[in-house]
Amino acid sequence: MKPPALKLPFAETSAKALPIRSFTAAQWGKDSRREPAATRAWAEAQGFAAKPGQVLLLPDAAGRPRAVLAGLPEQADLWSYAALAAALPEGDYRLDFQPANADDAALGWALAGYRFDRYRKTQATSGAKPLARLVLPKAANKARVQAIYEAMALARDLITTPSNDLGPAELAAAAQSVAKRFKAQCRVITGEQLLKQNYPLIHMVGRAAAPQRQPRLIDITWGSPKAPKVTLVGKGVCFDSGGLDIKPPAGMLMMKKDMGGAAIMLGLAQAIMALKLPIRLRLLIPAVENAISADAFRPGDVCRSRKGLTVEIGNTDAEGRLILADALAEADGEKPELLLNAATLTGAARVALGPDLPALFSTDDALADALLAAGRVTGDPFWRLPLHSPYRDYLDSKVADINNAGDTPFAGSITAALFLRDFVSNTKAWAHLDVYAWTARPRPGRPAGGEAMGLRALLHILEQRYR
Ligand code: BES
Ligand code: MN
Ligand code: ZN
């Protein structure tokens, strides 16, 4: 995968940039009477009330724009600035005020220009107008904004790319190119080697795929071995047909995005390396296609996992937790200071929380609280669900240590998280995010397609802890 387009919509000089003044609707209601009569009349004629997303160009005597009035919500986040950028005509602008978070303002502005254009290069076919340009606010850290933009664009591009162009091999190639760019070590264990090196569940789930789409484990390490260990794990199911317990068409339609957790964690890893956070980073991505063939794994099969626990297959469509079990067992063996997992793991999490709120599970209350707080300040929120131990017996098997699917449809997201928990025993600070990784209802800065949910909040807690 090629690196995302790096040309961000930032203007170099402010000489000709139009100033943007911002108001909340309440402020406008109070303060507009202090504006010149012509401005008030113009605002009224245009129906400008400083509602979030509203903009008004003010003309000079010659009818050329001289300034912009913009409505922002009380708690403007990056998406407020994406909406602002998207509402303005082409040209150069500067903020005539100090945004609460300059990096988020710049990032949101830049994201308004994000497009997935791999299959539609021209403006005419992608429907994009050139984005307004922003003079970076003084307080903004350009390198950081760029790193986060690139991380999000990488994750989005990977998620939106269809499975015919993004199988396990291509996902591994994308990871390798990120590793190379930052001189990280990258090891990929492929196909039969997974059995030799004791990743039986990853092999079992992925073995039905075509030879060039064999399963693999991507393993990146970066940073000083003496620095605190932070390990990221992401579900990399490059297509989830459901296996033999085949998905119905409506459910299968979206399943190119089932590597969303992997894409988000690869994007996060890239941002961590670009920002040189002083940690010893490890990224583990089990990358598979959950395919159907004569060699597909079956309901009722029993497989011994890397950790030694035997797993009975109740449903081949509960494949994500299987590949994550082997990856988490490997991660947990090193006892990292922090172990973070992201996965498009269950439909049940979406039933509970809808598409925009990843479910957060953690055995560590302090970590969960820190993540929830990070989600709030970054506008990248989660909602915590419980690892309710009494539900663990939904996963009891009559022949093996654990079954991969519950015997009831209740609490599906919780039982999936409880399954994962059995494979993490040494690490104190472990958190699992069950993410949708997709925007269905487009908004400014968030076109329909893959979304890097959780990336910015996770980066935030890492920056807080380690910088
Ligand atoms: N990848 C799916 C979960 C999913 C579905 C995420 C739709 C986002 C949108 C996962 O592999 C899956 O199929 N989970 C099953 C588990 C069940 C068979 C126990 C589910 O959630 O229905
Ligand atoms: Mn599945
Ligand atoms: Zn899946």
Residues 297 and 358 in one domain: yes
Mean pLDDT is lowest, of 119-123, 161-165, 333-337, 366-370, for: 119-123
Q: Which two tokens stand for residue 460?
A: 């935030």
Q: What is the pLDDT of residue 287?
A: 99
Question: What b/e sequence results for 293-313 when a residue is b if at least 16 CB atoms lie within 10 Å of its CB, and e otherwise?
Answer: eeebbeeeeebebbbebebbb
Mean pLDDT is lowest, of 75-79, 122-126, 344-348, for: 122-126
Q: What is the pLDDT of residue 121?
A: 76
Q: Is the pLDDT of residue 157 over 60?
A: yes
Mean pLDDT is lowest, of 93-97, 102-106, 129-133, 421-425, for: 129-133
Q: Is the pLDDT of residue 427 over 60?
A: yes
Q: Who contacts 115 (Cβ-Cβ below 8 Å, separation ≥6)? A: 126, 128, 447
Residues 283 and 389 in one domain: yes
pLDDT-derived band at 406 (thresholds 50, 70, 90) equals confident
Q: What is the pLDDT of residue 188?
A: 99
- Supply the mean pLDDT for the chain: 96
- CATH number of the domain that 98 lies in? 3.40.220.10
Residues 159 and 250 in one domain: yes
pLDDT-derived band at 14 (thresholds 50, 70, 90) equals confident
Pocket lined around ligand 1, Cβ cut-off 6 Å: 240, 258, 315, 317-320, 344-348, 350, 405, 412, 436
Q: What is the pLDDT of residue 124?
A: 56
Average pLDDT over residues 61-87: 97
Q: Indicate the pTM of the whole model.
A: 0.97
Domain boundary (140, 158, 174) is at: 140
The rounded distance, in Å, linking the Cα atoms of 414 and 384 is: 11
Q: Which two tokens stand for residue 400?
A: 């093996």
H and E: helices and strands count for the chain: 16, 20
Strand partners, 20: 68, 95
> Out of 115, 144, 247, 446, which one is annotated catalytic?
247
Strand partners, 244: none
The rounded distance, in Å, linking the Cα atoms of 56 and 42 is: 9
Q: What is the pLDDT of residue 341?
A: 98
pLDDT-derived band at 204 (thresholds 50, 70, 90) equals very high
The rounded distance, in Å, linking the Cα atoms of 83 and 70 is: 10
Residues 324 and 351 in one domain: yes
Percent residues over pLDDT 90 in the chain: 94
Q: What is the pLDDT of residue 1?
A: 54
Domain boundary (112, 140, 168) is at: 140
Q: Where are the alpha helices (DSSP H) in 76-132?
A: 78-87, 102-111, 123-126
Strand partners, 221: 185, 282
Residue 288 C-alpha to ligand 3 middle, in angstroms? Answer: 10
Average pLDDT over residues 310-328: 99
Angle of the 78-87 helix axis to the 102-111 helix axis, nearest 10: 50
Q: Are 451 and 356 in contact (CB under 8 A)?
A: no
Residues 362 and 277 in one domain: yes
Q: Are 292 and 239 in contact (CB under 8 A)?
A: no
Residues 169 and 133 in one domain: no
Average pLDDT over residues 339-351: 98
- CATH number of the domain that 296 lies in? 3.40.630.10
Domain boundary (140, 164, 181) is at: 140
Residue 289 C-alpha to ligand 3 middle, in angstroms? Answer: 9
The rounded distance, in Å, linking the Cα atoms of 411 and 389 is: 12
Ligand 1 atom at minimal distance to the Cα of residue 413 = 21
Mean pLDDT is lowest, of 19-33, 121-135, 252-266, 387-401, for: 121-135
The rounded distance, in Å, linking the Cα atoms of 368 and 374 is: 10
Note whether residue 410 is domain-resident.
Answer: yes
Q: Where are the alpha helices (DSSP H) in 88-199?
A: 102-111, 123-126, 142-160, 168-181, 193-196
Ligand 1 binding pocket mutation candidate from 241, 346, 410 (most atoms within 8 A of CB): 346
State the distance between the two ends of the chain, measured CA to CA, in whole angstroms: 31
Residue 346 C-alpha to ligand 2 middle, in angstroms? Answer: 8
Q: What is the pLDDT of residue 125?
A: 54
Residues 378 and 311 in one domain: yes
Residues 88 and 166 in one domain: no
Residue 321 annotated to the active site: yes
Closest Cα to atom 3 of ligand 1? 346
If one counts the domains in the chain, the total is 2
> Out of 133, 229, 257, 321, which one is annotated catalytic?
321
Residue 428 annotated to the active site: no
Q: Is the pLDDT of residue 5 over 90?
A: no
Ligand 1 atom at minimal distance to the Cα of residue 347 = 21
For 225-239, write each residue's pLDDT tens digit.
Answer: 999 999 999 999 999
Average pLDDT over residues 306-330: 99
User: What range does the domain containing 263 cover?
Assistant: 145-465
Average pLDDT over residues 278-298: 98
H/E segment holding residue 27: helix 25-31
Percent residues over pLDDT 70 in the chain: 97
Per-chain residues with Cβ under 5 A from ion ligand 3: 237, 240, 258, 320
Q: What is 407-454 written as a DSSP string?
A: SSSTTHHHHHHHHHHTT--S-SSEEEEE---EESS-BTTB-SEE--TT
Question: What b/e sequence results for 349-361 when a residue is b if at least 16 CB atoms lie within 10 Å of its CB, and e otherwise?
Answer: bbebbebbbbbbb
For residues 127 and 307, the model is more confident at: 307
Q: What is the pLDDT of residue 6?
A: 63
Note whether residue 2 is domain-resident.
Answer: no
